[in-house]
Amino acid sequence: EVQLLESGGGLVQPGDSLRLSCAASGFTFSSYAMSWVRQAPGKGLEWVSSISATGNTPYYADSVKGRFTISRDNSKNTLYLQTTSLRAEDTAVYYCAKNPQNIVLVTDWFDPWGQGTLVTVSS
Amino acid sequence: QSVLTQPPSVSGAPGQRVTISCTGSRSNIGAGNDVHWYQQLPGTAPKLLISVNTNRPSGVPDRFSGSKSGTSASLAITGLQAEDEADYYCQSYDGSLSGWVFGGGTKLTVL
């Protein structure tokens, strides 16, 4: 069974940094692209970032470009999202999700999703 | 404001049929990009319901179906059940934004 388990969320102040992790199991992690999607409290879903299976090709939403960095360690079956210069509007549950193949394509969907980790940015 | 437009809410009685629309533009659905649908039960993570416009992953009941035409897509749910009460989201790719986009979500209430 495919499992994705996020961790690393918490309460931080504006301008702080946080590294989110997503531990994957139940599939060959190194063969699939992965993504982060977030959901602000009571709001809809927002794609944040995606990365190819090799980790060579990252993609970012304009809202996080230059502040967030996606990466992965295929030897540890773990996906990361390094967040910096956090703002109040970054407050959200951050989900990691598996893409359908090894490269990121415009046709991609996200399946499955982890249970999410909450990031709260507040002074 | 979401790039893909969904009605905020829909409702129906048990056993009825409801549809949820997802309206885009020439830079996303109208560009030929696929539409995918997700179900989010209260307090849980989203779950893939329909991929590539019409495909149901294994385990998804055939009461759920998707369609796409022009700049819009629709999710139909037949034989409504209480357990279908959830938020539903459409998703596609937007070439102008160079990223994947979601609809604002539709809350389905089973009366």
Mean residue pLDDT of chain A comes to 98
Give mean pLDDT, residues B84-111: 97
Place of tokens 């079956």: A77
Q: What is the pLDDT of residues B6-26, one digit of tens each?
A: 999 999 999 999 999 999 999
Specify the pLDDT at position A24.
98
**What residues of A are in contact with residue B51 (Cβ under 8 Å)?**
100, 109, 111
Q: Residue A100's closest chain B neighbor by CA?
A: B51
Distance from the Cα of B16 to chain A's closest Cα (Å) equals: 26
Q: What is the pLDDT of residues A52-87, one digit of tens each?
A: 999 999 999 999 999 999 999 999 999 999 999 999
Q: Check pLDDT > 90 for residue B1.
A: no
Distance from the Cα of A35 to chain B's closest Cα (Å) equals: 11
Give the tokens for residue A94. 């951050």
Distance from the Cα of A9 to chain B's closest Cα (Å) equals: 16
SS3 sequence, A10-70?
EEECCCCCEEEEEEEECCCHHHCCEEEEEECCCCCEEEEEEECCCCCCEEECCCCCCCEEE
Give mean pLDDT, residues B43-54: 97
Count Cα neighbours of A75 within 13 Å in the Cβ-side half-sphere: 0
Specify the pLDDT at position B55.
98
Give mean pLDDT, residues A32-57: 97
Percent of chain B residues past pLDDT 70, beyond the cut: 100
Tell me how far apart the alpha carbons of residues A34 and B78 are, in angstroms, rounded to a whole number. 33
**What residues of A are in contact with residue B52 (Cβ under 8 Å)?**
107, 109
Give mean pLDDT, residues B52-60: 97
Q: Which residues of B67-105 are buried (b: 16+ CB within 10 A; e: fewer)?
A: ebeebbbbbebeebeeebebbbbbbbbbeeeebbbbbbb
Give mean pLDDT, residues A25-51: 98
**Contact (CB, 8 A) for A10 and A119:** yes
Query: What's the pLDDT band for A118 if we cut at 50, 70, 90?
Result: very high
Specify the pLDDT at position A74.
98
Percent of chain A residues past pLDDT 90, beyond the cut: 100
Instruction: Look at residues A10, A8, A59 and name the one whose alpha carbon lies nearest to residue A34.
Output: A59
Give mean pLDDT, residues A85-108: 97
